[in-house]
Structure 1
Amino acid sequence: MDKKTVSLIIPCYNEENNIRFACQEISQVCSKLHHKYEFEALFVDDGSTDNTVLEITQLKKKHPNIELIEFSKNFGKEIATTAGIHNCQGDCCVIIDADMQYPIEKLPEFLDKWEQGNEVVVGIRDKKRQIIL
């Protein structure tokens, strides 16, 4: 059986201090799911003025499944997300904030809901900062 590919779309704007941590967190969760899925991480830099692109470029050398789309100026998170969706190669896509404000540990639950036939799975944070699917 062929593995399905999950595209992780990570819009970034001035996230140089978060990129390595985000990559580490994402890698840990994806490694637990690698028996079932292939992953691509598509970082979309939204015209950062810091070293975000440099950090991602360095990570690409270690992680061949990382891709980078680089904007020449800031267009906003929605445009960056849309660019990621249009350029991803996966069977599904998951949008993740680069600052990891939403727990990536919920990824298996999102994928389970998708595998159950849901075309769109959305998580919202309740008042206790817990994610509800």
Structure 2
Amino acid sequence: MKKISILIPCFNEVENVGPISTAVEDVLKKDLSSYDYEIVFIDNASTDGTRDKIEELCRNNSKIKAIFNVTNFGQFNSPFHGICSLDGDCVIPVCADFQDPVELIPVFVHEWEKGHRIVSGVKSKSRENGIIYFLRTIYYKLIKGMSQVHMIEHFTGFGLYDKTFVALLRKLDDPVPFIRGIVAEYGAGFNLKLVEYEQPRRRAGKTHNNFYTLYDAAMLSITSYTKVGLRVATIFGFICSILSLLVAFIYLVLKLTNWYGFDAGQAPLIVGLFFFMSIELFFIGLMGEYILNINTRVIHRPIVVEERRIGFDTDTDIEKEADAKR
């Protein structure tokens, strides 16, 4: 009997972990009853009671397991580590907030049985904030145009990954994993299948995405899969140098031919100075993002450090852990 591993990354989702586990299990029992399954939560150091709720779920259902991280390792590292930690014939990551429709799980599995070892959910529409969705669209088109890899628009990582692809993820040993880029880079070799869906609204709680997290995702994709930023800096710097020399020559000619009548004033000098300084700072910042990416890879810290596991064969169950604490 084939085994389906459902991975649910979470951070402060106390209102959602119970309903999402019920919804996932109902779909698995109803539409995929011929498969064995496990539901695994990987928690990024929640502080709102999410862990207590997960422990209760694990206590009441042997099919539900958990991995608790020692701290918040971010929106990319934790799911990636979870995927690599599971041993099912396929792994399906699902967001705890219900924005990944659980009804698509049987669709993914049916496509998997047809021979597609990666089945990726792609948002064709979204009920999230229209402005945010518009900005995401611009970002995806921008990164798709700049990247050497054919990036997948509106793909967030929701999908099905065959155990052969999971084995590849383990071999990559990437300290800065970006699952969206990895799927785009290697997907063709695993018979990638795209499945469109409309993204619903978050069921409960507040989104943990903010400007910083969105910026972090954008910079990770740019510094990991593009060279355009540095190339633009080089080309733009060369063009500006030529223009500066040309303007300087024109000013020299005008001054020599009309020594007393030509007075450029300070305004062009000040405007030009601030313009070129702002451009220089922008590209220094961009270079800093590339250097930060390199630094993270060189340090090569673990993707995730676990605090403990619950429900896995090699780990102590909740009751024994509680006894040990006493």
Q: TM-score, normalised by structure 1?
A: 0.91
2:30 equivalent in structure 1: 32
Q: Equivalents in 2 of 1:60, 1:37: separation in Å?
A: 20
Structure 1 portions without partners, runs of 5+: none
Query: How far is the alpha carbon of 1:108 from its aligned partner?
Result: 0.6
1:57 equivalent in structure 2: 55
Query: How far is the alpha carbon of 1:102 from its aligned partner?
Result: 1.7
| Selected match of 1:84 from 82, 90, 99 | 82
One-letter amino acid of the structure 2 residue matched with residue 106 of structure 1: L
Q: Equivalents in 2 of 1:82, 1:8: separation in Å?
A: 13
One-letter amino acid of the structure 2 residue matched with residue 132 of structure 1: E
Q: Does 1:132 align with 2:130?
A: no
Q: Does 1:103 align with 2:101?
A: yes
Count of residue pairs brought into register by the alignment:
130
Query: How far is the alpha carbon of 1:35 from its aligned partner?
Result: 2.8
One-letter amino acid of the structure 1 residue matched with residue 106 of structure 2: P
| Selected match of 1:6 from 4, 7, 24 | 4
* SS of equivalent to 1:36: coil
Query: How far is the alpha carbon of 1:55 from its aligned partner?
Result: 0.5
Query: How far is the alpha carbon of 1:37 from its aligned partner?
Result: 0.7
Query: How far is the alpha carbon of 1:70 from its aligned partner?
Result: 0.3
1:21 equivalent in structure 2: 19
Structure having the higher helix fraction is 2
* SS of equivalent to 1:127: strand
2:67 equivalent in structure 1: 69
* SS of equivalent to 1:121: strand
Q: Equivalents in 1 of 2:89, 2:126: separation in Å?
A: 32
Q: TM-score, normalised by structure 2?
A: 0.38
Q: Percent identity?
A: 34
Q: Deviations over 1:29-86 (max 9, x none)?
A: 0111343211111100011111111101000112101111001110112111112112
Q: Equivalents in 2 of 1:86, 1:117: separation in Å?
A: 21
1:35-46 matched pairs, under 5 angstroms: 35-46=33-44
Q: Equivalents in 2 of 1:48, 1:105: separation in Å?
A: 27
Q: Equivalents in 2 of 1:6, 1:24: separation in Å?
A: 16
Q: Equivalents in 2 of 1:53, 1:128: separation in Å?
A: 29
Q: Would you identify which runs of 4 or more consecutive aligned residues in structure 1 move more than 3 Å?
A: none
Which structure is higher in RCO with an 8 Å CA cutoff and minimum separation 6? 1
> Is the radius of gyration larger for structure 1 or structure 2?
2
2:215 equivalent in structure 1: none
Structure 2 portions without partners, runs of 5+: 128-194, 198-326
Q: Equivalents in 1 of 2:89, 2:73: separation in Å?
A: 26
2:256 equivalent in structure 1: none
Deviates more, 1:44-53 or 1:34-43: 34-43
Q: Equivalents in 1 of 2:53, 2:126: separation in Å?
A: 33
